[in-house]
């Protein structure tokens, strides 16, 4: 047999979303970018995701139908003609709804356990090479977040009876989402009650998809080195820190990348002017255009702060809104783009109403506006209480908009405080999370901004960083080969 490093490695990505077809956060961005980069590194990478209605079926190619074991539903498998390794699982009753995980009122779909158990069952059949119109067995199944957490467990069950199976890796994109359901569902999902105990799939009386993956996957990864350390502590472990400490030897932190072809101020089609670290003149034009677009006072000397985020407590939006009236008394403008909890949406709208010309709020998501904000602001706010990786701070660095962040998770791995390291600094960081630290970091940014040459050095340093996927892909390749060498 050839050594693993000389063999073609076949990997199945199992995930609930993939940009641009389905996305609620960073998970969709990762699945949209990483498989392609892995293919460039020589890994035969397949992706299986639910079909939520995009792209339209006329743009897909039908492959066949298959009914996984222990289910009564025949699922259709489709692919992108130009990307035959990107597969969509179509089961209209399960996935083609008005929201991916929640209904239009923000409530979880009551059958999420059944929906994603079905995805996991189909993923296992594909990984084992048992779908007749698809290729043979995969070498490795790479599961992502709780929605794919059952697959490593199901493959472990097969291994217990002596069946060959692929190696398994579970990536944790956000430990806060654990896929917890009533244990009464175990029987209908055809899962053995014998594993419902604290050392198995039980999590404080509930049955957890994520816990199943954490216990039974051969290896675990997170989306930044710092987050891999943090989740082994009580403060960030979300009740799973004890388990993660016992698996610390199997846990690797690999920092996400960004699509630096789509997020690149040199040629971004959404911008009124292009620029790079050698010529920042276009950024000033982007700032003026953004102020005009959003009805802000056209002042080139004011510090424009931007925030693009889910409006939830984890992201520190409450700190920003609490501090906003104080900030807007200074030479500062504030832009918010995002959606989330109604109380924060209403509070943001009210503040914008009270401060016309100084604060702009757009509830929802707008891809074009997100790019224009990244280019047109002076600094980016990201005061997350915890952040597994974060992508917006890397977008901001790429666009010459130094980030202001709470030093946690991937934010700590990517943003170096300029007041702590003048030579390597690319932004502003504070700790612990809280309004005093955020206020101080913003005031420090305002002081630096008033010294234009120094600010431009800070911008250029951030723009010169390597934030693409090639580095991360190579780290995953090394992890895959390590896993398979020891399989």
**What distance in Å separates the CA atoms of residue 48 and residue 343, rounded to the nearest whole number?**
36
**What distance in Å separates the CA atoms of residue 436 and residue 269, rounded to the nearest whole number?**
38
The pLDDT, as a whole number, for residue 487 is 56
**What distance in Å separates the CA atoms of residue 296 and residue 13, rounded to the nearest whole number?**
44
Q: pLDDT band at residue 260, thresholds of 50, 70 and 90?
A: confident
- Residues 141-179: tens digit of each pLDDT: 999 999 999 999 999 999 999 999 999 999 999 999 999
- Residues 365-416: tens digit of each pLDDT: 888 999 999 999 999 999 999 999 999 999 999 999 999 999 999 999 999 9
Is 23 annotated to bind a ligand? Reply is yes
What is the three-class DSSP state of 413? Answer: helix
For residue 211, give the nearest of 226, 227, 195 by alpha carbon.
195
The rounded percent of the chain whose pLDDT value lies above 90 is 91
- Residues 411-440: tens digit of each pLDDT: 999 999 999 999 999 999 999 999 999 999
Contact yes or no for 225/232 (Cβ under 8 A): no
Instruction: Mark out the alpha helices in 204-260 (DSSP H runs).
Output: 209-216, 225-230, 241-246
The pLDDT, as a whole number, for residue 2 is 32
Tell me the average pLDDT of the chain: 95
Q: Is the pLDDT reported for residue 6 higher than 60?
A: no
**What distance in Å separates the CA atoms of residue 241 and residue 435, rounded to the nearest whole number?**
27
- Residues 24-79: tens digit of each pLDDT: 878 998 999 999 999 999 999 999 999 999 999 999 999 999 999 999 899 999 99
Write down all domains in the chain, each with its CATH number in brackets: 4-257+469-485 (3.40.50.2000), 281-463 (3.40.50.2000)
The pLDDT, as a whole number, for residue 1 is 30
For residue 373, give the nearest of 309, 429, 456 by alpha carbon.
309
**What distance in Å separates the CA atoms of residue 443 and residue 446, rounded to the nearest whole number?**
5
Q: Is the pLDDT reported for residue 3 higher than 50?
A: no
């Amino acid at each position: 047999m050839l050594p693993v490093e000389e063999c073609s490695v076949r990997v199945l990505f199992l995930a609930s979303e993939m940009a641009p077809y389905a996305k609620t956060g960073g998970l969709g961005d990762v699945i949209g970018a990483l498989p392609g980069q892995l293919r460039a590194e020589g890994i035969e990478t397949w992706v299986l995701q639910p079909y939520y209605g995009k792209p339209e079926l006329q743009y897909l190619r039908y492959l066949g139908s298959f009914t996984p074991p222990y289910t009564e539903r025949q699922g259709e498998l489709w692919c992108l003609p130009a990307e035959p390794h990107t597969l969509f699982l179509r089961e209209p009753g399960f996935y083609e709804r008005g929201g991916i995980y929640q209904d239009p009122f923000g409530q979880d779909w009551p059958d999420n356990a059944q929906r994603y158990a079905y995805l996991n069952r189909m993923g296992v059949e594909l990984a084992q090479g048992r779908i007749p119109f698809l290729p043979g067995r995969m070498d490795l199944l790479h599961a992502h977040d709780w929605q794919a957490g059952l697959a490593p467990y199901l493959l472990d069950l097969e291994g217990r009876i002596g069946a060959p199976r692929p190696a398994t890796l579970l990536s944790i994109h956000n430990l806060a989402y654990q896929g917890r359901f009533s244990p009464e569902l175990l029987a209908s999902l055809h899962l053995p009650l014998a594993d419902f105990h604290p050392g198995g799939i039980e999590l404080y009386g509930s049955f957890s998809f994520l816990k199943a993956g954490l216990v039974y996957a051969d290896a675990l990864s997170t989306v930044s080195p710092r987050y891999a350390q943090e989740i082994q502590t009580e403060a960030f472990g979300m009740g799973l820190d004890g388990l993660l400490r016992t698996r610390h030897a199997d846990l690797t932190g690999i920092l996400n990348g960004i699509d630096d072809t789509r997020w690149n101020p040199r040629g971004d089609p959404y911008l009124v002017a292009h620029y790079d670290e050698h010529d920042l003149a276009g950024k000033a034009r982007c700032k003026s255009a953004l102020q005009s677009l959003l009805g802000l006072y056209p002042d080139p000397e004011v510090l424009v702060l931007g925030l693009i985020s889910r409006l939830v407590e984890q992201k520190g939006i409450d700190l920003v809104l609490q501090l906003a009236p104080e900030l807007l008394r200074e030479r500062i403008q504030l832009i918010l783009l995002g959606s989330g909890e109604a109380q924060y949406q209403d509070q943001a709208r009210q503040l914008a109403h009270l401060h016309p010309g100084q604060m702009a709020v757009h509830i929802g998501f707008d891809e074009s506006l997100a790019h224009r904000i990244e280019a047109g602001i002076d600094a980016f706010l990201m005061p997350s209480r915890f952040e597994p990786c974060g992508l917006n701070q890397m977008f901001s660095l790429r666009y010459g908009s130094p980030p202001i962040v709470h030093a946690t998770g991937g934010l700590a791995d990517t943003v170096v405080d300029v007041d702590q390291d003048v030579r390597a600094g690319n932004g502003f960081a504070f700790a612990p999370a809280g309004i005093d630290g955020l206020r101080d970091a913003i005031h420090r940014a305002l002081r630096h901004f008033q010294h234009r040459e120094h600010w431009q050095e800070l911008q250029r340093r951030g723009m010169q960083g390597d934030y693409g996927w090639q580095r991360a892909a190579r780290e995953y390749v090394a992890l895959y080969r390590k896993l398979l060498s020891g399989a």
